[in-house]
Amino acid sequence: ILDVRPEAEFKEAHPPGAINIQIYRLIKEWTAWDIARRAAFAFFGIFAGTEENPEFIPSVKSKLDKDAKIIVACSAGGTMKPTQNLPEGQQSRSLIAAYLLVLNGYTNVFHLEGGLYSWFKEDLPSVAED
């Protein structure tokens, strides 16, 4: 299982054997653009703004073969199934990550429907890290 949640969430609980590679990370730089982005996040009450993790694909490439079976998971899971309220489904970190993996030549990619919320709700095995 490839867990794409932030490292702190991964350390709290994750499926045994899962690896963590964040698809997003906290904004790191302090350029004028990054300061403006931080301010925009703060305007909406989000004081830990995030950006795409540029190391996501390189990190995956260093840990997983292109033909490895990869089950991508995040907290909520998202869905591609349309509903009345969400005619295009519900976007999620894991769906975005799965899409990026396929674009980068990974051929055996799956998505954990219901996300890790469902995993933990079903009382499936989980571990924590210090």
Q: Which of 1, 23, 74, 116 is catalytic?
A: 74
pLDDT at residue number 86 = 87
Residue 109 is encoded by which pair of tokens?
Answer: 């990619």
pTM of the model: 0.86
69 is catalytic: no
pLDDT at residue number 80 = 83
Domain that holds residue 117: 2-22+53-121
Distance CA 1, CA 72 (A): 6
Q: What's the Rg (C-alpha) of the chain?
A: 16
CATH code assigned at 74: 3.40.250.10
* Residue tagged 């260093």 (tokens): 62
pLDDT at residue number 49 = 86
What is the residue-level pLDDT of the chain in tens, covering all 130 positions? 999 999 999 999 999 999 999 999 988 989 999 899 899 999 999 888 889 999 999 999 999 999 999 999 999 998 888 888 988 888 899 999 999 999 999 999 999 999 999 999 999 999 998 7
On whether residue 43 sits in a domain, the answer given is: no
Residue 91 is encoded by which pair of tokens?
Answer: 């976007």
